[in-house]
Amino acid sequence: MEKTTDTIYGSHIERMEEIVKEMEKRIMDLREKILSEQGMDPIEHYLARIKSDDSMREKCRRNGLPETEESALQEIKDAIGIRIVCDFLDDVYTIRDYLAQMPDYTLIQEKDYIRNAKPNGYRSYHMILRSLDGYHIEVQLRTISMDTWASLEHHIRYKKNLPCDAELIFKELKRCADELASTDVSMQAIKNLITEN
């Protein structure tokens, strides 16, 4: 008897789960390679997910798209999501280069919000990869401080009853983001001094 599923992804869910496992293995293999060569683990933590059925349907509605497999897998490009959190800025770009050069994936979009932060202070490196068989993966690469800021900002932004002086809160969030970015640069400089010596 053929297995059926009533998610928006239909029969594609099994292949999507395979891709998540394949990517995790590749990232862990790269992690081990860098650790053995440099003596430092480049990844603080790694998360992967397939966007839930409810979340994907809501995103389709928000974007004025029908709630179909085509919308979920071709129009919207983040059904599979990966977040890699690194200790240092150079680790972010090392992993970016590795992902961009995988022969069985095509880099179809990237946005460097580290060098070009969003106006609210958000920093991260975003990539959209497409497998040879047509599945998209959204990758977010961040340092620990970027990830901490993004998590806290998310909690604050979605708090239902912000005080009336929300503008001051968002100015403070931007200031914190800038201070953390400065810390990332300083920590990278310290790492460079250590490795050079």
Residue 134 region by backbone torsions, left for phi larger than 0, else alpha for psi between -120 and 50, else beta: left
Is 92 in contact with 152 (CB distance < 8 Å)?
no
pLDDT for 161: 66
Q: Collapse the DSSP code of 179 into the 3-class scheme (helix H, G, I; strand E, B; otherwise coil) and give the result.
A: helix
CATH (domain of 20): 3.30.460.10
CA dist 131 and 105 (Å) reads 4
Strand 136-143 and strand 80-86: the pairing is parallel
Q: Does 129 reside within a domain?
A: yes
> What ranges make up the beta strands (E) of 38-173?
43-50, 80-86, 105-112, 125-131, 136-143
Q: Does 194 reside within a domain?
A: no
Backbone angles phi, psi at 48, to 5 degrees: -140, 145
pLDDT for 197: 72
Q: Does 195 reside within a domain?
A: no
Question: What is the torsional sign of CA 92, 34, 79, 152?
Answer: negative
Residue count (the chain): 197
How many domains are there within the chain? 1
User: pLDDT tens, position by position, for the chain (197 residues)?
Assistant: 344 457 999 999 999 999 999 999 999 999 999 999 988 899 999 999 999 999 999 999 999 999 999 999 999 999 999 999 999 999 999 999 999 999 999 999 999 999 999 999 999 999 999 999 999 999 999 999 999 999 988 888 776 566 656 788 889 999 999 999 999 999 999 999 988 87
Q: Does 26 reside within a domain?
A: yes
Q: Does 4 reside within a domain?
A: no
Q: Does 159 reside within a domain?
A: no
Other CB atoms within a 10 A radius of the CB of residue 175 amount to: 11
Is 59 in contact with 52 (CB distance < 8 Å)?
no
- Joined tokens for residue 21: 């496992």
Q: Does 32 reside within a domain?
A: yes
pTM above 0.85, yes or no: yes
CA dist 52 and 58 (Å) reads 10
Distances (CA, A) of 181 to 14, 22, 142, 177: 39, 32, 11, 6
Domain enclosing residue 125, as ranges:
10-147
- Joined tokens for residue 160: 């239902």
CA dist 23 and 137 (Å) reads 10
Q: Does 183 reside within a domain?
A: no
